[in-house]
Amino acid sequence: MTWSTADIPDLTGRRALVTGATSGLGYETALELLRHGADVLVAARNPEKAAQAAETLTQKAGRAPTVLELDLADLASVEKAANEVTASYDRLDLLINNAGVMAPPYRQTVDGFELQLGTNHLGHFALTGRLLPLLLKGSRVVTVSSFMHKTVRGIVEDDLRRPASSYRKWEAYGKSKLANLLFMLELDRRARAAGADLLSVGAHPGYAATHLQAAGPELAGRPRQAQLWAAGSRLVAQSAAAGAWPSLYAATDPDLRPGSFVGPSFFEFRGTPKVVLPTHTAQDAELAAQLWQWSVDATGVDPTLTVPR
């Protein structure tokens, strides 16, 4: 299949929210959505970086995004941001759950969850759940995962509060990306069962050169290792712009089926986007239903998919 950003349809009048939009995949995704006419909210936890990103996005796209302060590692921040959006708008056509952290040293979220599962999954679960009143109107939710979901065989409730003594950073990252897919597919199942006009799909970038690879070593106070990660990524990875293609395809292709998962075409490593298969574990409906309930218990957010009348 051939595809490029030129195939993105006119998005004039559509409203999108992209998490983690100050750099990397989120920035490139927001840029193309703006270029194709969408009204874009860029959500980020660092106000200074968000303002800088908004300025460069405006310069490149010729249209200004709206900045939304959001820290996915703080459920109070998620609630505040969602309340701000629901108070300001009557609909949200597109939600791209893109932000994430990868392989940092052991950290906890504000609410005491292991940082990667707490940010990458629970934060997005709570955000999506709180925004559902705006999303059940013909909207699309894109949840960004990773081929690293293939490296783990499952997830248990205790993983959400995994202590430092049993923490393995790459295992935790893989579990967070597995959780993203379990959530995406369970949201799809529940939307279809409720007859809701909501499309839940997923995407992964393959191997793209972004700041994500260096962020973990930076948090660990290892600048040399961060530099090596960044240099290696530049040598073998595709660009962040190309890495955003699966997300953009998932967000805008008019014929994409519910529950689809989109990744790069060349061994899911790089190239034009195509529909790919999650692992059998990611497609485990029983495990997905368990994770949904664990996430409800953890966040206090219980997404109810009811059809608007």
Catalytic residue among 27, 77, 139, 177: 177
The reply to whether 173 belongs to the active site is yes
Give me the count of residues in the chain.
309
The reply to whether 150 belongs to the active site is no
DSSP 107-176: -B-TTSSBHHIIIIIIIHHHHHHHHHHHHTTTEEEEEE--GGGGG-----GGGGG--GGG--HHHHHHHH
Q: Burial level of 133, CB count in 10 A (0-12/13-18/19+)? A: middle
Catalytic residue among 173, 175, 176, 265: 173
Strands 261-266 and 39-44, how do they pair?
unpaired
Q: Which residue has the tokens 């703006």?
A: 34
The reply to whether 169 belongs to the active site is no
Catalytic residue among 145, 176, 233, 295: 145
Q: Is 206 left (phi over 0), alpha (psi -120 to 50) or beta?
A: left
Residues marked active site are found at 145, 173, 177
